[in-house]
Chain A
Amino acid sequence: MPVDPDAKIEITAYKSVPPFAQGHIKDVRIRWALEEIGQPYRARLIGGIFEEKPQEYLAEQPFGQVPVYKEDGLTLFESGSILINIGEKDERLLPRDNAGRGRAISWMIAALNSVEPPLQTLIVIDVFGDGKDWHDGAKAAALPFARKQLANLSRALGDREWLEDSFTIGDLVMIHVLREADELIEPHPNLIAYVERGTSRPAFQRAMTAHLEDCAVQELQPA
């Protein structure tokens, strides 16, 4: 098991997350990548997702989010940036040749900048707009673009197993992002099967188990 309290790689994670967000937090992506290549890591748990973060943490992560990644004195934030760093350790995650590397990183940014934002917008509308007078209009306005992005992604994937010739950090992020799509994915059997292929990987399952254990940690009761 790559979770190891003595590991030199440290990532941060929340110690409490509301049920709707459990499994969707971005430390899952880092845990998954590390599990894929058998790199031990330890998790440093910071406060709950909605708690104000201390100044020291904001100096490491300007927006107070997770994950932050530390290894041998190197500090990174933003899951995409961390995944490039991890991918450069092992070509099972990021091809070494320029062409393959370029494709993998293109897909990863596509997941983060072209697919995740419209899906995230819908989640925000449903979670924070529940019962608000703008909910229905906002949702009706946001749905067509989200649907279009998924249809284009489905067409691009076609009947391939992964987005390129082999599994990369591009697939890893895309699959984690697609888990946010809920019923919008239903018109696309190839995307459903793609998510299923990704999430049935043993590395994903170990990552998710460790994430869920950590983010359900309750505050210690005063003695």
Chain B
Amino acid sequence: MAVNDNASFEITAFKWVPDFAQGFVRDLRPRWACEEIGLDYSQRLLGLERPDSYFAEQPWGQVPVINDGGVRMFESGAILLHIAEKDERLMRRDPQSRASTISWLFAAYNSIEPLFFELGNIDLFSKGEQWAELRRPGLVEFLGQRLDRLATALGDRQWLLGEFSVADIAMVTVLREGKEDDVIRSRPSLAAYVDRGEARPAFGRALAAQLAVFKEHEPVAA
């Protein structure tokens, strides 16, 4: 287990979130990275009613935030890069591998995930609204074109760079947001890629650690 109350690497996470978000809150990403390299981390847990002071640490009031011996970072993508610098199992040291790893991590965060945010706005937060039904096909087509190109780039490799890297942690966690949707299911190579990521023991431990916190803090039904 990488969760260790005495570890100097601290990850901030929520005590509890509603069902639809469980397993998808973004502290999952640094937890996974820590598990891959056996880096122990401690947890600081926040209620959903964040104190005002928390916004000084994280401008959007979101998780995760980390404190790594005085290095204080926010935004899961930045944190993943920070962890990857510690261990070449997450980012190979030769210059082109390093460059490609970082490029793919940003592709996940800036070229793919924003389109899943839009899809989430339609399917989750505006479900049943007329505009959402009218807008969805065009968005799915655009997202689909981008995913086709991602599938082409992945080809028949196991991971984006051939060997597993932090870029796969970023891309798999982004793609699994649409895992149950046709947009991923209709692209078997991407669906298999997500399955491979989720099958890694480190992913399983990270997910279990996040869910264990929610279970422990589950609100008591009235």
Q: Is the CB of A75 within 8 A of B96?
A: yes
Q: Is the CB of B59 within 8 A of A77?
A: no
B201 CB, nearest partner CB in chain A, Å: 27
Q: Is the CB of B75 within 8 A of A138?
A: no
Instruction: State the main secondary structure of chain B at its contact with A.
Output: helix
Which among B4-12, B39-47, B77-85, B176-184 touches the partner chain? Answer: B77-85
Which among A3-11, A78-86, A200-208, A212-220 touches the partner chain? Answer: A78-86
The distance in angstroms between the C-alpha atoms of A135 and B138, with both chains bound, is: 12
- A contact residues, total (Cβ < 8 Å): 50
Which residues of A lie under 8 Å from residue B68 when comparing CB positions?
102
Does A108 reach chain B (CB closer than 8 Å)?
yes
- B contact residues, total (Cβ < 8 Å): 51
B139 CB, nearest partner CB in chain A, Å: 9
Q: Is the CB of B131 within 8 A of A134?
A: yes
Q: Is the CB of A77 within 8 A of B107?
A: yes
Interface centre among A129, A141, A149, by most chain B C-beta atoms within 10 angstroms, is A141
Interface centre among B55, B56, B102, B153, by most chain A C-beta atoms within 10 angstroms, is B102
Does A113 reach chain B (CB closer than 8 Å)?
yes
Interface residues of A in 105-131 (CB under 8 A from B): 105-106, 108-110, 112-114, 116-118, 120-121, 128-129
A43 CB, nearest partner CB in chain B, Å: 19
Which residues of A lie under 8 Å from residue B79 when comparing CB positions?
106
Interface residues of A (CB under 8 A from B): 58, 62-65, 73-82, 84-85, 98-99, 102-103, 105-106, 108-110, 112-114, 116-118, 120-121, 128-129, 132-138, 141-142, 149, 152-153, 155-156
Can you list 10 A-B pairs, Cβ within 8 angstroms, ordered by A? A77-B107, A98-B71, A103-B72, A109-B78, A113-B109, A113-B113, A121-B121, A134-B134, A149-B60, A152-B55
**Which 9 A/B pairs are nearest by Cβ-Cβ distance?**
A137-B131, A78-B106, A117-B114, A156-B59, A109-B75, A62-B153, A134-B134, A134-B135, A80-B106
